[in-house]
Amino acid sequence: MPPLDHATVLAALEANLDQIERLVARMTLEELTRRPAADAWSPLEIVEHLAVVERGVHRQVTSAAAEPPSDARTEDKDALVDGVGTVVRKWKAPDLALPSNRFGEKAFGIFRDRRVSTINLARTLDVDWRAHHAEHPLLGQLDVGQWFLLAARHGERHAHQIEQSR
């Protein structure tokens, strides 16, 4: 993938939304709420986590875009962000993003609405993605394009978990 090609990043966000929607649509409520192991999240908990993170991505991007452009460069993190979808090891989610059944059965609808909002922001945001940055709690400074790509790859990572839970 060319680094942060806008069209490719948008396609990744849209494809991941479709992927998760297809997975969730094929599952019964019992399958959505069943944890595959005592220390694992159920598919519905995963979707809740994605909805919470998606809101955070939107806030970080909006905040970063409102700031003046910066000379800082984070291109060295492109491969790391692009690889987030590949599970090499488990990461501990920040406490704020842990599932708590706050959305219940509405989790997917909330995630979908938030992802569509992120996609629309990516389509319409009229700033240089590389010149605006925000701090990620685990990855440090990321530029706006990396934040968008991270949302897609993070969703892919969790889509694999949902698939494996069946």
- For 25, counting Cβ atoms within 10 Å of its Cβ (0-12 exposed, 13-18 middle, 19+ buried), the class is exposed
pLDDT over threshold 90, residue 28: yes
CATH number of the domain residue 50 falls in:
1.20.120.450
62 neighbors 122 (Cβ within 8 angstroms): no
Mean pLDDT of 78-89: 78
Residue 100: predicted pLDDT = 86
In a domain, 1, yes or no: no
Whole-angstrom Cα distance, residue 44 to residue 104?
A: 8
| pLDDT tens, residue by residue, 140-160 | 999 999 999 999 999 999 999
In a domain, 95, yes or no: yes
At 2, the pLDDT band (50, 70, 90 cuts) reads: low
Which has the closest alpha carbon to 93: 136, 31, 142, 36?
A: 136
Count the domains in the chain: 1
Residue 88: predicted pLDDT = 56
In a domain, 38, yes or no: yes
In eight-state DSSP terms, residue 79 is: H
| pLDDT tens, residue by residue, 104-143 | 999 999 999 999 999 999 999 999 999 999 999 889 999 9
In a domain, 59, yes or no: yes
109 neighbors 32 (Cβ within 8 angstroms): no
pLDDT over threshold 50, residue 1: no
> Residue 115: which domain range?
6-164
Rounded percentage of the chain residues whose pLDDT exceeds 70: 95
Predicted TM-score (pTM) of the model is: 0.91
